[in-house]
Amino acid sequence: MDTTKLTDKLQARRIEITEQMESLVSGGAVSSGEGLAFTEPVGEDRAAAVQRMTQLNMHSGLEAELGTVDAALAKIEEGTYGNCEICGEAIGDARLEALPWAISCINCS
């Protein structure tokens, strides 16, 4: 497997995720200081509260994905990339092609 290309791909994805997270933070959905605490400001209407909840969920999802991308990058560095985190078997090229940040095989995911 060409890990140079793979690293580029993962790093590009990492930048995308970071940018999306930043835009959520700068949009006011998530305060970087407060972390992910959800507090309903006085006077905020229900629709705004729901929208904020959605953005917080998006932020958590992005954060989780960022963790996975980082884990994949660490594995490339260690030379263990492509092996399942759980059972240790090869993840398989087809799966890695579709999901370069996959860290577990299809059976374990």
* Neighbour tally for 37: CB within 10 Å: 9
By CB neighbour count within 10 A (0-12 exposed, 13-18 middle, 19+ buried), where does 101 fall? buried
Distance from C-alpha of 102 to C-alpha of 96, rounded to nearest angstrom: 6
Q: Does 84 bind Zn ion (CB under 5 A)?
A: yes
Residues 87, 90, 93, 97: which binds Zn ion (CB under 5 A)?
87
Residues 10, 62, 72, 105: which binds Zn ion (CB under 5 A)?
105
CB of 44 to Zn ion, least distance (A): 44
Positions in 41-70 near Zn ion (CB under 5 A): none
Interaction site with Zn ion (CB under 5 A): 84, 86-87, 105, 108
